[in-house]
Amino acid sequence: MARIAQNRQSVVILKSLQQLHTFGLPAHCTDFVRIQSVHSAHTFIAQHLEQPFYLLGQGSNTAFVADYQGTVAEVALKGIDVQENDSHYIIKAAAGESWHELVVYCLKHTMYGFENLALIPGTVGAAPIQNIGAYGVEVERFIQSVQYIDLKTNQVHSIAAKDCEFGYRDSIFKHALWQKAMIVGVTFLLPKAWQPVVTYGELAALHAPSAQDIFNKVVEVRQAKLPDPNVLGNAGSFFKNPIISCETLAALHQQFPSMPFYPLDAEAVKIPAAWLIDQLGFKGQFEGGIRCHPKQALVLTNAEQGTGEQLLSLARRIKNAVAEQFSIDLEHEVQLIGANGKVLL
């Protein structure tokens, strides 16, 4: 629903963002544009060089916590092209394609590797930004290159995976290229010599699974653990799992001997953020209409027509409580967008 804003000079019709991000918060923007081709992308950029705008995919990792003072542009380019060589399938997918639908497409056409990443919401274009990952696999292992338009020069570039600065839920697109690049496509390499990855969680119980078996189990587990954003507004895991040194872990284990961890290398481990939050009793807690999910502490939900301010308030309470109790700094995984762009807790 649109909203009317008045000032001394004019009346402005604000466009609702509530249906454009999975949190479903009652935010608006000055204007909204859907980009469905590279040509229209170039046109949009040329017209908005000196104006504020925010690029959006399916809004599954974004929460608009206030009315955005600019144009929101949904990148909705479509298309999948598949080639192959002796060792790999080469898959070129447009940025607006649904990530999960790409996983299903590849599985249907006997191209395996993405199955651990099934049911992750969002678009293909968002996948490298977030370096999406689940069940022991991160998307970076399959990316050959990312195609994007430079928002200053309006020129198309291709950046190789080795230059994307991929990290845990991180990439160059969150830093040096944040709001400086419009991703229009991603090129993936799926090896023909497929090897299952079943070292994580519930997948470890599978015996000699096929790619379809892994896909089915991932979908089953995700549906059981995580609320459907189409039913209950949320953006999946709100916080990243913190990475700490083994030395810090040893000190924490003296006070919290049951603290779980996952080794990363000889010097660092990953701590489940959900465990930290759960220990502090946040499961089920409300801040206005925003709730920490009673079944999964890592997920914050729009349970009762919550607002952006309430979301920020609950998230800050959790972050501050974890820092005070465990001396661990939680980082939010969800992009929080306020009136003038990115908001930090």
CATH number at residue 49: 3.30.43.10
- Per-residue pLDDT, averaged over 229-246, amounts to 96
For the domain that residue 155 is a member of, what is the CATH number? Answer: 3.30.465.10
- Per-residue pLDDT, averaged over 191-218, amounts to 95
* One domain, residues 325 and 263: yes
Per the structure block, which two tokens stand in for 217?
Answer: 């189990």
Query: In whole angstroms, what is the distance from residue 103 CA to residue 135 CA?
Result: 15
Q: What is the pLDDT of residues 162-176, one digit of tens each?
A: 999 999 999 999 999
* One domain, residues 104 and 191: yes
Confidence (pLDDT) at 2: 54
Confidence (pLDDT) at 225: 87
Q: What is the pLDDT of residues 21-54, one digit of tens each?
A: 999 999 999 999 999 999 999 999 999 988 999 9
- Per-residue pLDDT, averaged over 119-148, amounts to 96
Confidence (pLDDT) at 49: 85
| pLDDT of 334 higher than 80 | yes
**Beta strands per DSSP E along 161-314:** 181-191, 233-237, 243-245, 262-263, 268-270, 286-287, 290-292, 299-302
| pLDDT of 8 higher than 60 | no
Confidence (pLDDT) at 31: 95
State the residue range of the domain holding 10.
3-75
**Which has the closest alpha carbon to 231: 277, 132, 299?**
299
- Per-residue pLDDT, averaged over 297-314, amounts to 97
Q: E strand or H helix at 272, and its extent?
A: none
| pLDDT of 179 higher than 90 | no
| pLDDT of 293 higher than 90 | yes
Task: From 198, 222, 246, give the residue that closes a domain.
Answer: 222
Look over the chain and give the mean of its residue pLDDT values, rounded to a whole number.
94
Task: From 45, 75, 105, give the residue that closes a domain.
Answer: 75
- In the chain the first and final C-alpha atoms are separated, in Å, by 28
- Tell me which DSSP letter residue 304 carries: S
| pLDDT of 12 higher than 60 | no
**Which has the closest alpha carbon to 182: 157, 158, 148?**
148
* One domain, residues 200 and 86: yes
**Which has the closest alpha carbon to 238: 288, 281, 201, 293?**
293
* One domain, residues 91 and 199: yes
Confidence (pLDDT) at 200: 85
- Per-residue pLDDT, averaged over 271-298, amounts to 97
| pLDDT of 344 higher than 80 | yes
* One domain, residues 209 and 95: yes
* One domain, residues 29 and 152: no
What sections of the chain are H helices per DSSP? 38-47, 99-108, 126-130, 211-225, 246-255, 273-279, 308-326
| pLDDT of 13 higher than 80 | no
Task: From 188, 222, 256, give the residue that closes a domain.
Answer: 222
The pairing of strands 62-64 and 335-338 is parallel
Confidence (pLDDT) at 14: 82
Which residues does the annotation mark as catalytic?
169, 237, 333
| pLDDT of 11 higher than 50 | no
| pLDDT of 9 higher than 70 | no
* One domain, residues 85 and 170: yes
Categorize the per-residue pLDDT at 3 as very low, low, confident or very high, splitting at 50, 70 and 90: low
* One domain, residues 91 and 211: yes
Give, in order, the Cα–Cα distances in Å from 7 to each of 11, 12, 17, 68, 341. 6, 8, 21, 16, 22
Confidence (pLDDT) at 10: 47
Q: How many CB atoms lie within 10 A of CB 258?
A: 7
| pLDDT of 6 higher than 50 | no
Query: In whole angstroms, what is the distance from residue 229 CA to residue 245 CA?
Result: 34
Total domain count for the chain?
A: 3
* One domain, residues 88 and 18: no
| pLDDT of 92 higher than 90 | yes
